[in-house]
Amino acid sequence: MIKSTYYDKIAHVYDQTRWLTQSIAEEVADFILELVDATPETSFLEPGIGTGLNVIPFIRRGYSVTGIDVSQPMLDQLRQKLSEIPQNLNLIHADASQLPFTDNSFDVVLTVHMVHGISNKKIFLDDIARVLKTQGFYLNAQWITPPARMEFERHFRAIVAKYEVEQAPKRVNKVIEEINVEDYFRSKGYQSNYVIAKEWTVSNTVEELLSFFQLRAYGLCWLVSDEIFPHVMREFEKFCIEHYGTLETELSSKAKFEIWAYTAS
Ligand SMILES: C[S@@+](CC[C@H](N)C(=O)[O-])C[C@H]1O[C@@H](n2cnc3c(N)ncnc32)[C@H](O)[C@@H]1O
């Protein structure tokens, strides 16, 4: 059975509270197509496809795209963006920890903000290497949080920490070795290449960011109960007025779409 995650609860506000716009995603897609030397036959797999922010440009341009996600509501958001599911898109509602594909199936496997959530990375990375074609590319990417938002988040974290109740440590049945993705692919003889696909400026007023937190759009908003959360938000809003002067203050900083590209040498 597929367990529900907090993405089920935030799927409807995911896109609006992130900062990868459709036009930036188009530019990133251009960059990736050049990076992997794409032909019209190039096939893509995105485990943890979410609402499709990264791959919609590939789908619209007719590339073969397969996406897997454990969250049905995230997949539903993706479906709503397309008038109908095109022939070149295969969406699978499943846990991507083990990939249900035969060996040598894809030219490009893309993960974005996803690998950290996989409990047994060794099995997952073995599987990525297995489903990749011989000359394929594994792109492990992230669009990092712009510094101004990061700072905003740190202020929230400091307040929420005061309300957090100590959780009993979870029972861990077996220790799973933590794996570094870079080390893993290098040890398998892959070449690695770090590239920045795109840098862009993200601007939001304090009021707008507060409204995103009010929607509980981020994992750290779920560290406290439904009863406690309004107290945290009241204290945070008070802090913001004192710290930023007014809720109309604009916070601007640069976001980056970073990619670690691995290919068999
Ligand atoms: C931070 S979101 C990123 C979504 C998308 N890649 C993006 O960049 O917007 C992480 C996504 O990975 C999915 N996910 C997390 N663990 C997963 C797993 N084991 N199998 C499939 N999907 C998973 C979540 O449901 C969520 O949609």
pLDDT at 117: 85
Residue 243 included in any domain: no
Length of the chain: 265
CA-based angle 68:88:54, to the nearest 5? 50
194 forms bridges with which residues in the sheet?
260
Say if 167 falls within a structural domain. Answer: no
Ligand 1 proximal residues by C-beta, below 6 Å: 5, 7, 47-50, 53-54, 68-71, 74, 95-97, 112-114, 117-118
Of 207, 194, 179, 185, whose CA–CA distance to 256 is shortest? 194
Dihedral pair phi/psi, residue 73, rounded to 5°: -60, -35
In a domain, 249, yes or no: no
Let me know: does 236 contact 213? Beta carbons within 8 Å: yes
Q: Is residue 150 part of a domain?
A: no
Distance 187 CA to ligand 1 centre (A): 26
Asked whether residue 58 is assigned to any structural domain, the reply reads: yes
* 240: nearest Cα among 232, 253, 163: 232
Minimum CA distance residue for ligand 1 atom 27: 50
Residue 14 domain-assigned (yes or no)? yes
The model's pTM: 0.93
Q: Return contacts of 182-185, CB within 8 angstroms, 24+ apart.
A: 182/260, 184/121, 184/122, 184/125, 185/125, 185/129, 185/138, 185/262
In a domain, 244, yes or no: no
Q: Which two tokens stand for residue 48?
A: 């943890």
In a domain, 234, yes or no: no
Give the domain CATH number at 260.
Answer: 3.40.50.150
Query: Hunting for tokens 């188009």 — which residue is that?
Result: 26
If one counts the domains in the chain, the total is 1
Beta bridge partners of 85: none
Mean pLDDT by 10 residues, the chain (265 residues): 82 97 97 98 98 98 97 97 93 94 97 91 95 96 95 97 74 63 93 97 98 96 95 98 97 97 91
Tell me how far the alpha carbon of residue 254 lies from the centroid of ligand 1, in angstroms: 24
Cβ contact 189:253 at 8 Å: no
Handedness of CA 164, 73, 83, 43 (dihedral sign): positive
CA distance 15 to 157: 22
Give the ligand 1 atom nearest the CA of 143: 8
The whole-number pLDDT of residue 167 equals 58
What separation in Å is there between the alpha carbon of 77 and the centre of ligand 1? Answer: 13
Range of the domain at 79: 6-145+179-201+254-264
